Amino acid sequence: MASGATMRVEVVSPERVLFSGVATQLITRTESGGEIAFLPGHTSFLGVLTENHTRIYLEDGKVQNVAVHGGYVEASGGHVTILSDNAELAEDIDVARARAAMERAETAMRGEHDATVEADLRRAHARLSATGGIGNA
């Protein structure tokens, strides 16, 4: 990628702006299309997100990891915005709590379960993946 090729990225929840900065790439996961990467100059896009580990590649080479629990992603005019009712920066995630939630959900999945249990498991996987606790969820 050419030097200086960047885009503005924001991750917003109803409570606050979790992240606002400049990035060279963003990778997230949509409900219908799997993972999608956004680079500077990406065509306009609007998609529904599923629980996932979103990666924001910063100008300095670092990666901001985010657990996103649904919402929307919009790209337009050199700007990518993630709007989510619930998202967490990796450094804000309690790993022990996320592991315990995953274990509870996995146990519940062995018996009768419903969409709530499946969503709990996907959220736990997203949290642990964002913190490096498990492979990509």
Q: Other C-beta atoms within 10 Å of 133: how many?
A: 18
pLDDT digits (tens, 9 = 90+) for 47-79: 999 999 999 999 999 999 999 999 999 999 999
Three-state DSSP at 49 gives strand
Question: Please, what is the average pLDDT of the chain?
Answer: 88
The amino acid at residue 33 is G
The amino acid at residue 77 is G
pLDDT digits (tens, 9 = 90+) for 88-99: 999 998 888 888
Give the separation between CA 1 and CA 73, rounded to whole angstroms: 23
What are φ and ψ of residue 124, in 5° steps? -60, -40
Sorted by where each begins, the domain ranges of the chain are: 7-90, 94-130
Give the separation between CA 129 and CA 119, rounded to whole angstroms: 15
What are φ and ψ of residue 105, in 5° steps? -65, -40
pTM value?
0.82
Q: What is the mean pLDDT of residues 6-17?
A: 94
Q: What is the pLDDT of residue 113?
A: 67
Question: CA 24 from chain center: how many Å?
Answer: 16
Q: Which CATH fold topology does 94-130 show?
A: 1.20.5
Domains 7-90 and 94-130 share a fold: no
Q: What CATH number should be reported for the domain whose range is 7-90?
A: 2.60.15.10
Give the separation between CA 124 and CA 101, rounded to whole angstroms: 6
